[in-house]
Structure 1
Amino acid sequence: MAATVVPSVMINLKALDKNNYKHWSFRVKTYLVAEDLWDVVEDTNDPPKLEDGKAIFVAWRKNNARALHAITISCGEDAESAISDIEMAKDAWNTLAEKFKPPEIIETQDFNSEVDSGSDDGNADSKIDAVEAYDHETYASFFNKVATAMGDGKWEDVKEFMKQHPEAVRAKHGRWGLTVFHKVVRYQDVRGVKELLPFMRKKDWGILDNEGRTAFSLVIEDGHTDDAIEIVKCIVEKNKKLLLRVVHPSAKTVPLVYALSLDKPKMARYLYSVTPLEKLKSRDAAELVSTGLRLKHLDISLDLLRRFPNLAIAEDHSGQSPLNELASTRAGLFSDASKLGMRKRLIYRC
């Protein structure tokens, strides 16, 4: 009988209970995103049926089973009993959120205060108010211009509109509540990003879409391409303070740690090259080392430990240390140990 493979991201994860939903949901979502399984959970459409095509149905059924398995094995007894009869991953996820998610709301302005406490021009109101644009005729016209510009690369009409309506950069559109900047980074439109950056104030980086994501977290989450790296470079050059600010409210961590936790090594290595490591909080730096060990991106972990040896025993986000992570993953990292003789293996373990 084949042994069950436990995802490495689950090894040090405490089982879900009423006290740790935020940490649990972030770590499990991180795994699902990295494994291309998150779409099964967040999809609002009905699941495919066999008559939609056997290949499509079988692929969905497999991904749904994998996602549901990952969610279930990370649950405590109470949580598992709540979803024991559920067959769809998204229903299980929503049920657990309803039962265990703390009754609190992350306000846009609260998150913005973490991102930046100042203003570019010194005259803007310190409070950010996202402009709801779902049925607003003015902004419907604006987002039509944006869609056209993303198609033909001509941004003159969009920029002229934004000069006349500066608040347009904060207008939210569609069921996902995306701002114009959310849209251009989501579609990895490098030209659009460069055209719109001059209209972004520092405080605007804290605006959240309806899923609680900033535009900066969206490009990190969705992208590992050269265009995504180029967009992040443009954003960082515009506002270097973002490198040390919380990039995603539920993750509660900085862009570098967020990128590595999503298993985006190319993005993480760029962010590592520009992040002032000496200014990282100890828990963030320790989490970076632990994540690098867990996902086997050892170059980042090794370089950090060489610079700051005390991180080996510092607490990461889970309350453990990189040394604990190393102990739990040693078999995967040092598989050559099994080729040694009995006496040498004894010494090796010590």
Structure 2
Amino acid sequence: MGRQLGFIVRELLDKKNYLDWSVGVKTYLMGEDLWDIVESMDEPPKPKDRHAFKYWRSKNASALHAIQISCNTDAFSKIRDMTSAKKAWDTLEKEFNSESESESEDDDEVKIPNDQYQQYERFHKALQDGDRNATKEFITQYPDAVRKKITTRTRMTALHVAATAGHTEIVETLVEKMSPEDLEMEDSSGNIALTAAIIYNADFKIAECMVKKNKKLPTMLDQEGTMPVVLAFQYCHTEMGRYLYSVASMEDLILPDNLKHAAELIDQAIITKCHDVALHLLQLCPLLATTFDLSENTPVYTLAVCPRGRPLKFWQKWIYESIVIDGDRVIKEIYTKLSTNTKMNSDTELHGEVWSLQSVAMHFDILGFKKIYKMKLVHIQYSALLRQMCEETKKLNKTQISRSDIIDALFDAAEEGHFEFVESILKSNPDLAESYDESSRNVFMVAVQYRQAKIFSLIHGVGSKLSATNHVDDDRNNMLHMAGLFLPPPQLDRISGAALQMQSELQWFKEVESVVPPWTHGHTNNEALTPRQLFTREHKQLLSAGEKWMKETATSCTVVGALIVTIMFAATFTLPGGNDEKTGYPKFLDDKTFILFIISDAISLFSSTTSVLMFLGILTSTYAQDDFLKSLPRKLMIGLGTLFLSIAAMMISFCAAVSMMLGDNNSWVAFLIISLSSIPVTLFVLMQFPLLIEIYLSTYRPSIFGRKP
């Protein structure tokens, strides 16, 4: 029986799990359109009403069966003889729900006169269906209905039901008949109607209607200790969140007892990229930067670990850098709007001096300009928020810093590669460069361990560089040992092929080796391994994968190169048009196109031969570790480059031959064939040329480890 029910409830009903069980069964019944049988207050249809009774009997049997097979032996014995799903449900609730009796007795408003059950059932349906006329008629007849809890189990008021269903006009009608205190009534989960509206839908007007009636709602605490204004951001309803924040009482929000809720609000605003709200609240109460929230985190930590988004493509970077925004004006507008309860719009507007082409691009959304512009605007707000937090951390002494999570934030930001955060924190608090994590590693050792090049480069700008490079962690690993560790960081996945990944790892090791003092090279850790020995052990699998990748690439390209060599060598002695029988010279010798044919044929032959030789050099390599640093990438780059040149020259040679043989009378045919011949060249460029560029940049570009602070 238990296995049959795995798709309805996780555990059969017993005396300890009624609440979880009832949620699971109710959800299942609602999904199967059977819950109305259990919840209905109407009498079942009579057998004489054959069609209605047959329909009810079928649904009742399905609901009852689902309830029965969800019970253990003891629970099933309570309802074995029952034929009504509603009666079975009520019996189980009475027997197993220890909270049901107290919940029904602690609030007189739950009770509805017995003679009005059917009317309230229709009222509930009208609220759910959005029938405004029926709702008005009912509350005209029963004015107190707006204050009663019309659902027996969830104890929801009419406003809860309408807000959950998202019917704005009905909510307005109900609120008009309610007092401000009525809007503070809670359901069985401890949620007011505004909270229910936030959880189940994101209709801004519903929230606005309620808050106009009762200004205290945005900062009221539910049973879990969460404010509606915080909940709105938590559920990513940013427009509603901005509105609730703009009308919330700042005095209540920054009371000493509410600071953790205010810190939670800043955290949720940061997570949803609403940095304007976080910045405004932080300006009102700078102490919040290091105040622990409901989850025992601080806004500083949240800002450190919050994802920053994907890297931009080169053309997106160009657009991003070209956008000019007056940052001071943006921050001033944020403070003015939120301080004057002006509705904050989630849509971005142009700020400051923006050149005309950008204005046109913004209007027509050329190349996704709006998205990139919004990223720039968010970054300006992020930078201002970070500066504000750094100013607050300057005021803390060592004891206060140790009691906060600033050090944790610094190390987690270094691990995630949040360069701007790490740089700003270290500038504001230079002493933190000598702080350590739980393994006694400094921030630069962590940057090396997780291959964060920009953060590691900050070591050249701190006064404690000598101390940082001489440090040893709890396992007696020095900074060079960190370069020998291999954790496969996420950024390594962006490098094509195991061979180039191995090259990147070697570049890291060489760079760190040039920074640390000489004694670290032969220093052994707790495993009696030097940094080089640790590197060899940790990268053994990557070295093998790199060798395999190199050989497979070289083998494939060697086959292509050899075919081109064969074809172009043969083409030299089978000239288009043949040779003159008397002189033995080619018939098209005086044709300029023939010269193009011969030159392109020679270029293709020589370059393909060079390519084959380079790939043969790769196949016969010893594959030592240091070979992956420059030797093998250089050979692969030359091989791919000459192979590309040979294919292009071969196509040119082919087009020249076709042009000579067809002559001027069939120029359209020649044009068609020449156009088709560009397809393989284009395909090769699209598939292999990016790899060629990547190899060149990873081998010959300036070091990825900048030396400027």
After TM superposition, the score normalised by the length of structure 1 is: 0.55
1:198-237 superposed matches below 5 A: 198-224=176-202, 228-237=203-212
Q: Distance in 1 between matches of 2:300 and 2:227?
A: 22
Separation in 2, partners of 1:137, 1:176: 21
Aligned to 1:276: 249
Residues in 2 aligned to 1:138 and 1:310: alpha-carbon distance in whole angstroms = 55
Aligned to 1:195: 173
1:182 has 2:160 as partner? yes
Equivalent residues of 1:283, 1:315 under 8 A apart: yes
Deviation, structure 1 residue 317: 1.8
One-letter amino acid of the structure 2 residue matched with residue 306 of structure 1: Q
Q: Quick one: structure 1 residues 42 and 302, their matched pair in 2 at CA, closer, same or farther if it must change by over 3 Å?
A: farther
1:53-86 CA-to-partner distances (Å, cap 9, x unmatched) read: xxxxxxxxxxxxxxxxxxxxxxxxxxxxxxxxxx
AA aligned opposite 1:230:
K
- Following the alignment from structure 1 to structure 2, what is the Cα–Cα distance between the partners of residues 333 and 275? 36
Preserved CA contact (<8 Å) 1:145 1:157? no
TM-superposed deviation, 1:326: 3.0
Distance in 2 between the 1:192 and 1:263 partners? 25
CA distance in 2, matches of 1:241, 1:287: 18
1:44 aligns with 2:19: no
Structure 1 unaligned residues grouped into runs of 5+: 1-39, 49-102, 110-126
Question: Which structure 2 residues correspond to residues 147-162 of structure 1 after superposition, within 5 A?
Answer: 147-148=125-126, 150-154=129-133, 155-162=135-142
The 3 A distance-change label for structure 1 pair 41 and 217 is: farther
Q: Paired residue for 1:17? A: none
Question: Which residue number in structure 2 is paired with residue 264 of structure 1?
Answer: 237
Give the 3 Å change call, closer, same or farther, for CA 175–257 of structure 1 in structure 2: same
Q: Which structure 2 segments of 5+ residues have no match?
A: 1-22, 32-97, 307-412, 423-451, 463-708
Aligned to 1:309: 286
Partner deviation per Cα, 1:174-218 (whole Å, 9 max, x = no partner)? 543332111111111111111111332333334333333221210
In structure 1, C-alpha distance between the alignment counterparts of 2:239 and 2:173, rounded to whole Å: 25
User: 8 Å contact 2:183–2:214 — kept in the other structure?
Assistant: no
Partner secondary structure for residue 44 of structure 1: helix
Higher relative contact order (CA 8 A, sep 6+): 1
**CA displacement 1:97-130 (0-9 Å, x = unmatched):** xxxxxx999x889xxxxxxxxxxxxxxxxx9633
Counterpart amino acid of 2:263?
A
Q: Deviations over 1:149-173 (max 9, x none)?
A: 644431431221233xx25531322
The one-letter amino acid paired with 2:136 is E
Percent identical among aligned pairs is 25
CA offset at residue 275 of structure 1? Answer: 1.1
> How far did 1:43 drift?
6.0
Instruction: Return the structure number with greater helix share.
Output: 2
State the shift of 1:324 in Å.
Answer: 2.9
Give the 3 Å change call, closer, same or farther, for CA 140–320 of structure 1 in structure 2: same
User: Residue 177 of structure 1 contacts residue 210 of structure 1 at CA under 8 Å; is this kept in 2?
Assistant: yes
In the other structure, the counterpart of 1:325 is 302
Contact 1:169-1:179 within 8 A present in 2 as well: yes
Alpha carbons 1:185, 1:231 under 8 Å: kept? yes
* Partner AA of 1:205 in structure 2: L
Number of positions where the alignment pairs a residue of Structure 1 with one of Structure 2: 231
Q: Is the 8 A contact 2:419 2:455 kept in 1?
A: no
Q: TM-score of the superposition, structure 2-length normalised?
A: 0.29
Which structure is larger by alpha-carbon Rg, 1 or 2? 2
Give a deviation string over 1:301-340, Cα, whole Å, max 9, x none.
Answer: 2222233222111222233322233344446694789574
Q: Which of 123, 127, 142 is the matching residue for 2:120?
A: 142
How far residue 277 of structure 1 moved from its aligned partner, in angstroms, is 2.1
Residue 238 (structure 1) aligned with residue 238 (structure 2) = no
Cα RMSD of the aligned pairs, angstroms, is 3.8
Q: 1:198 to 1:108 in 2, by over 3 A?
A: farther
